[in-house]
Structure 1
Amino acid sequence: MENISNILLLIGLIILAIIIFKIIAPYLIKMDTTLFLSGGLGSGKTLTGVIKAQQLIKIKQTQWLIATIKIKIINAIRKSKYQKKLKQWKKKKIDKPKDIELLPTKPRPVIYSNLPIYYKTIVPFQKEWSAKLQKDHLILKKGIIYGSVIFIDEITQVFTQFDWNIEEIKYNVNELITFFRHYINGYLILTSQSDSDVVVQVRRKMNINIWCYDFSKFWIFYRNRMCDLHMSDQITNTSSTYISENTKWHYGIYLGFKFNKYLTYDTHAYSERYNNIAEKDINPKRFNKFKTNEIIRFNNYVSPLDDRRKVDNGLHRNP
């Protein structure tokens, strides 16, 4: 009877573990060395990336702390042994010992980002700002702290597939991402509104590509759909069948929605750029009827249907 009870208890624990995993699974995002999040405006990709970066930096800082403590213990032991040998040497019992060789410690990993992030560290009740990610970091002119997390929001604003002919991108940036685990051994998170605009040599190196959409929030709770996209050398698989079979709801809690105390990033971080606009049009021209004869164009094309008076007045130029 006792054996049967133990077996039933074990089965019960397994079932309970499965239930708990099923409950928390929608709150988790699988992560390798690299993560690429794509999605349109307001899809939750930046929020997801920022939260993931904070989770990962805690992992890396914990690993750093353990390694640092280990190094300090080893150095303390070496110092102790060296002091004993010095005493014996002074008493002329042994030859002069060789100089002590201490192991160096590394600086604590941080988050590098092009978006200001205010995050918790492994030190209790301590927060810090993310380090500014600079061009020199990406082109291998300035070093990045080992084990750090790099978060690049809207990567296509930094460079796109049309910039691949720029040598610094073609060689330096490509080398950094290719040997990211060798050089940094941290995590790389990228976001973009369109994955097809990202340099293909970079996009292919992303282990996980998640398409975010259908974002909604209520108070401090939010949810959005996430689809793991299959990347190939030629195309991204976005067929309706594939999306329906590989899309899952992701749920989360972000206190920063309602409490500034817990704010970790500003969803409108770049808004101040618009203050530099040359002309502030506070009294815009308005329509006065339901018909219009004007089409906004950025090229020199002139249609036969364009208003000739406006063409003659220089509003449209001949190609």
Structure 2
Amino acid sequence: MKNKKLNILLSAPRGFCAGVERAIEIVEKSLKKYGSPVYVRHEIVHNKYVVDDLKSKGAIFVEELEEISDKTRPVIFSAHGVPKHVSIDAMKHNMEYVDATCPLVSKVHREAENLNKLGFHLILIGHKNHPEVIGTMGQLPKGSIDLIQDENEAENYSPKIKDKIAYVTQTTLSVDDTINIINVLKKKFPNIKEPVKEDICYATTNRQKAVKNIAQKCDMFFVIGSRNSSNSVRLVEVAQKSGCVESYLIHSESVIPFDKINNCETIGVSSGASAPEILVNDFLDKLNQKYQLEIKEVEIIKEDIVFKVPKKLN
């Protein structure tokens, strides 16, 4: 018998952003147009459920083009973007490719290229080895862009060229942490050129604002998402810094900590930009088996952004 009442504050917006929806649609439309198999370089988005679903429909995931034995089959580049050499390699092999890079990541790529052409030495604020960072750094000649991951690295940064530097950022960073890094850089380099429009994407910003809005009212906070999803991990950090220390990521192998939830009155729930809503519902269903749920969705902004898929797939 469910005798404990549990209040759920459901953060909104949450889950899929326009870039993720577009990337998944590109794989599905490619399978429809070309038949299976269709190859995808790197996980199309960082979510096991999504990747497994697309595998079941005929997508084959690889990390590099060399792994594709049948080069007559099309390949899709993931939403995180790829270094320039990847599309050049695909052309060398006469491969049909579809670029599912999120348009907001492509914007950062173009920005970096333009600044490089204008003679600026670039700083990229981001996380080492994240595919988006590898893709952005791979747009420019080696040595013309440096990665800075935190305030400490910003403090100790000493570029070869000091009079003409600019920065761009990964799109899925913590808004607050990034502002702190930027402030350090601006103090050190008063003439540093910043992006015309900030690079952290609307979806990352909105999801972080929504979590901040409810975190301090919660005894525990759960973010549904993958461990390798940068924006999901950042949401957990945002919840912790906003007053809910007991904030956790719920991924495909997570065990729900019912022993801790038993002591809670209110818990918060959100999901990363690559986590489908079905995973949020699964989590709520598991809670519903043990508690009387009182669910309240707290929405701070409506999202209506849609990105079109490439014309050749329509």
With the shorter chain as reference, the TM-score category is under 0.3
Name which structure has the greater RCO, CA cutoff 8 Å, separation 6+. 2
Higher-Rg member (1/2): 1
Per the normalisation by structure 2, the TM-score is 0.22
